[in-house]
Structure 1
Amino acid sequence: MLQIVSSSWALLLGIGLLMVGNGVQGTLLGVRGGLEGFSTFELSVVMAGYFAGFLGGSRMAPEMIRRVGHVRVFAALGSFVSASLILFPVLTDPISWTLLRVIVGFCFSGLYVTAESWLNNSTTSKNRGQALSAYMIVQMAGIIGAQALVSAGDTSGWVLFIIPSVLVSISFAPILLSISPTPPFESTKPMTLKELYAVSPLGCVGMFLLGGVFSAQFGMSAVFGTAAGLSVGEISLFVSMFFVGALTLQYPLGWLSDRMDRRVLILIVAAIAAVAALLGAVMTSALPALLVAAFFVGGMSNPLYSLLLAYTNDFIEYEDMAAASGGLIFINGLGAIAGPVATGWVMETFGPSGFFVFILVLLVAIAAYAAYRMTQRPAPSVDDTSTYAPVYQGSSPVIVDAAWEFAAETAEAEAAASGEAEAAGEETSDAKTRI
């Protein structure tokens, strides 16, 4: 791990600064919108704008990179993000904020594609697993650190809008001045949604529903905190617990997934997260209960993203994994666009508890559908399944492809080692027989 950090510190630092900048604006807008008098539904539309832009950016960024190159795309999109972040406190109306959020989401998507391309290009098959682990830690640490910044600042002023703008601008330096060469860029055309659904109905349905869960967490948790009467510090702590849980539970659940029927684990994980959401819905005025609920909702739902990817890959050939992942990411993005708007409507109908009620309904639906799919076809043998690869839901298709490439390489290496061990055992047995 230390070798990866020493060789890729510039890229990781730049990505970390991007995550801090993104995490600050996501939480800050939820708090500041309440101060500006936005209704819960208006804020939900604003938050949905980010995911609409992000989905569009993930589809268009590859073509932009092919046309003008990584450096120009990164610099241009970063400049738009920096400018947009400063404009939020100037244009304080829901329509302007929604448009700015679309721009920010589009640009962040392109920035992630570009930065992750560099990171992937700087790794080899020997260190890719460590690089992916370091990247996930940096992502989560960036978002968690962003919450500390929000809690320490004045949400009614300008400073907290300027800070993420500066951080995004500074992130250019370590990445663009890095000695890493500009990587070649290739993208895979995803499967059609019909083909993908035929391969894995659970993967498609689960990914769509999970998109709503994720966007509610990332986009509406601060709005919930404001509606529930939490202080800025309490809101920041509440939001951070979603990502602390994700970072803590990602790898233990990944270890389990390689050793059991993934549908059973998907059902269990979704059910535990649903119970946590129920706790949050019932105890909206108790901060300790909210923190526990956020920890387990985030800690279970984020690994669920990687579980659904891994489950889908269990039914396809290696060469089709990238195409399938691209399709699943698109489906997840569609669900993410609808998530904040639906959450806002439920919160306006049922009050702040509607935030957790909406998440609860989606998680119960995932668990129920997983149970139904268990009756429709047998599970593949554990020995024949793909290796789990931990991936953060906000990652671009580039890093998802890298994760599955590493997972496939790991599986091949383990199979080869197992075959050599078996051969050695047979030779020993033959020798004993001869003796």
Structure 2
Amino acid sequence: MSRNLLPVMALLLGTLFLFLGNGLHGLLLPVRGAAEGYSNEVLGLLGTTWASGFVLGCFVAPQLVMRVGHVRAFSAFVSLISVTALLTGILVDSYWWVALRIITGFCTAGTSMIIESWLNERATNESRGMIFSFYISITLIGVVGGQMLVGVFDPLTSILFMICGIVYGIAVLPTLMSKAATPQPLNSITLDLPLLYRNSPVSFVGILLVGIANGAYGTLGAVFGARAGLDAGTIAILLSITIFLGAVMQFPAGKLSDRIDRRYVLAALALMASLAALVLFVFAPTDPLQIFIFVGIYGAAANALYPIAVAHANDFAKSDEFVKVSGGLLLLFGIGTIIGPTIGGPVMTAAGPYALFAVTAIAHLSITAYALYRSRLRAAIPAEDRENMPNLPLSASPMSTPESLTLDPRAAPLEETVEATEDDERAEERV
């Protein structure tokens, strides 16, 4: 294991600090914003604009990387993230924060694509799954660690914004000092959303709805905690619990979906998430322990949906279409992440903080209903004809980029995908 990880250890160390900053800054803004009296709509826009910048970065950032190179682009992206983190501490203003989150999302997409392409360059077919799993674990540790820092220092002061800038500054150092060869140009994925829907309607609709629910809770969960009277440290624990339990749920949910129709697993998990959300919305518990219990159940179920939906889509896809299909689903997830906070903010203003869970409950109940409906129209692929879903906590990471898909052991090596595509084109020409 160490032999495979040593060549990318510097890169993974930089990744740890990068996501440590992402976790801290992502939670600090809504907590501080709620304390400053910003409206739910504005706080929701912090997530909407970040997701918009991230999706835009997935399309535009590769061109910038190709122009100036991986190391220079990575340094530029991290520097911009560091500057925007410091500016949010200086310019404590809702309009500035919303605008700056677009830059942060864009640069986060750029840094993630560079890291993932670099890891893919160093990975072999034998070590790909291990490196990808370790990478996702690093992002989880970073995000949770950053969130926990919010409870250590007073979010009403500027010290946490300064710590963000410092952490981001450290993140760039291991990569700059690394002797590892820079990776090949970033991969380009052609997206075909109508093809995605024909391939798997449940995954298409389900991923969009998962994005709406996760985007709403991921952005406004801290706002809910603040409006419900929880302090900053308790809010950090609350959000970390959902990430941790979501990661734990990956293994049993994935194994179950390998044995029975994945749509039934999606329906059951979405129903579990919706029931937990409805309890929070209807009964509005004020005891932190009760909130922890039901939010924990919600997070465990909700965060296990994404990888199962992706695996279901790939059950019906050709072996050389994994990256293309998963990349399209990633775009749908990003679109949903933009929609979720936009809806959640006004709903919370109109019906109170617990109404956030009404939004997520509607999304998850829709997944349950549609998955059960589609299971009556299309037979499942027999379990023996499906690839087992690896135990990779995909949904527990923040948002992945198309580059991460080539790291997944389910993806064919890039050269094989290219050869398969060329063979298909030659076959079509002969016809």
- Per the normalisation by structure 2, the TM-score is 0.91
- Given that 2:280 and 2:291 are in contact with CA atoms closer than 8 Å, whether structure 1 keeps it comes out as yes
Which moved further from structure 2: 204-213 or 379-388? 379-388
Match of residue 291 from structure 1? 292
SS in 1 for 2:406: helix
Give yes or no for contact 1:14–1:173 (8 Å, CA) kept in 2: yes
1:138-167 CA-partner distances (Å, limit 9, x unpaired) = 111111111221100110111101112211
The answer on whether the counterparts of 1:115 and 1:175 sit within 8 Å (CA) in structure 2 is no
Q: Does 1:143 align with 2:143?
A: yes
Instruction: Show the 5 A alignment for 1:135-174.
Output: 135-174=135-174
**Runs of 4+ residues deviating >6 angstroms:** none
Unaligned runs of 5+ residues in structure 2 are 414-431
Aligned positions of 1:68-147 closer than 5 A = 68-147=68-147
Q: Provide structure 1 residue ranges, at least 5 long, that are not aligned to the other structure.
A: 410-435
State yes or no: 1:205 paired with 2:210. Answer: no
- Aligned-pair distance for 1:188? 3.5
Amino acid at match of 1:379: A
SS in 2 for 1:75: helix
Are 1:280 and 1:289, in contact at CA under 8 Å, matched by a contact in 2? Answer: no
The aligned counterpart of 1:430 is none
- Distance in 2 between the 1:4 and 1:289 partners? 44
2-structure distance, mates of 1:212, 1:3: 40
The aligned counterpart of 2:406 is 401
Structure 1-normalised TM-score? 0.90
* Correspondence for 2:179: 179
For residues 252-302 of structure 1, the C-alpha deviation after alignment (integer angstroms, 9 at most, x for no partner) is 222222222111111111111112222332344121122122322222222
Change (3 A) 1:400 1:217: farther
Partner of 1:245: 245
Q: Percent identity?
A: 35
Write the mapping of 1:186-201 to structure 2, written as runs, cut at 5 A.
186-201=186-201
Letter in 2 for 1:395: S
Give the corresponding residue for 2:387: 386
- Pick which of 328-337 and 266-275 moved more: 266-275
Any residues of structure 2 matched to 1:306-321 within 5 Å, and which? 306-321=307-322
Task: Provide the secondary structure at the position in 2 that maps to 1:254.
Answer: helix
| CA distance in 1: counterparts of 2:161 and 2:67, whole angstroms | 32
Distance 1:28 1:339 in 2: 20
CA distance in 2, matches of 1:198, 1:166: 47
Quick one: distance in 2 between partners of 1:29 and 1:175?
27
Q: Note the alpha carbon deviations across 1:301-356, whole angstroms, 9 max, x for none.
A: 22211111110011110111111111111111111001111111111111011111
Please report the RMSD computed on the Cα atoms of aligned residues, expressed in angstroms: 1.6
Equivalence map 1:342-361=2 (5 Å): 342-361=343-362
Corresponding residue number in structure 2 for 1:429: none
Contact 1:27 1:150 in 2 (8 A): yes
| Contact 1:190/1:325 (<8 A) preserved | no
Distance, in Å, in 1 between the alignment partners of 2:180 and 2:268 is: 43
Contact 2:117/2:186 (CA < 8 Å) preserved in 1?
no
* C-alpha distance in 1 between matches for 2:252 and 2:17: 27
Distance 1:124 1:274 in 2: 40
In structure 2, give the amino acid aligned to 1:85. A
Structure 2 counterpart of 1:48: 48
Kept in 2: contact 1:325–1:401 (CA 8 A): no
Count of aligned pairs: 408
How much does 1:177 deviate? 1.8
Distance 2:186 2:5 in 1: 25
- Superposed displacement of residue 2, structure 1: 4.5
Match of 1:333 in 2: 334
